């Protein structure tokens, strides 16, 4: 079974998410929106298939990263999240919540051995693309 297949996103705390998004837009040319920005890429062995990596600043007061006390959280892309969560539980990994499903994929949160919160995402990239473009299904 494949586990992590890539980085799905980089999330970090900052004093003012709107100002930091504007700074990145002005100085680094990132096309930011309310969530941050999404980087599009192609799957190497299926070049017609797109994938996305999300970059998102959060307010420094966010509780979204809890129980971790770190200022960052990584989101990893995975395949077959249900099977992976079962394997992780059998291996003694702390699973923080139940799998949630959205139109753009499934999510769950775990803790690594140092208490860093990790978000696991089984994406539906076609739906994520529509969401990033502001379309609805």
28, containing H or E segment: helix 17-28
Contact (Cβ atoms closer than 8 angstroms) between residue 107 and residue 100: yes
- CA angle at 119 for the pair 2 and 97, rounded to the nearest 5°: 105
Residue 100 resides in a domain: yes
101-129 residue pLDDT tens: 999 899 999 999 999 999 999 998 776 66
Q: In this structure, is the dihedral angle defined by the CA atoms of residues 89, 94, 97 and 103, taken in order, positive or negative?
A: negative
pLDDT of 62: 97
Residue 30 resides in a domain: yes
Which CATH number do you get for residue 123? 3.10.180.10
Per-residue pLDDT at 79 exceeds 60: yes
Q: Where residue 137 falls among pLDDT bands split at 50, 70, 90?
A: very low
Residue 137 resides in a domain: no
Residue 120 resides in a domain: yes
- CA angle at 68 for the pair 112 and 121, rounded to the nearest 5°: 60
Q: Where residue 133 falls among pLDDT bands split at 50, 70, 90?
A: low
Residue 72 resides in a domain: yes
- pTM of the predicted model as reported, rounded to 2 decimal places: 0.86
Residue 106 resides in a domain: yes
**Domain interval for residue 24:** 4-132
Query: Cα–Cα distances in Å, from 49 out to 11, 71, 80, 133?
Result: 24, 32, 18, 17
The number of domains in the chain is 1
């Amino acid at each position: 079974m494949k586990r992590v297949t890539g980085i799905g996103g980089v999330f970090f705390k900052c004093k003012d998410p709107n100002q930091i998004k504007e700074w990145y837009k002005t100085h680094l040319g990132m096309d930011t929106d309310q969530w941050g920005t999404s980087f599009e890429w192609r799957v190497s062995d299926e070049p017609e298939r797109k994938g996305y990596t999300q970059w998102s600043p959060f307010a420094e007061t966010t509780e979204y990263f809890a129980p971790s006390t770190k200022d960052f959280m990584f989101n990893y892309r995975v395949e077959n999240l249900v099977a992976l969560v079962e394997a992780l539980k059998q291996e003694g990994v702390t699973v923080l919540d139940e799998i949630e499903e959205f139109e753009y994929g499934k999510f769950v949160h775990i803790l690594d051995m140092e208490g860093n919160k990790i978000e696991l995402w089984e994406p539906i990239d076609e739906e994520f693309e529509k969401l990033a473009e502001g379309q609805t299904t």
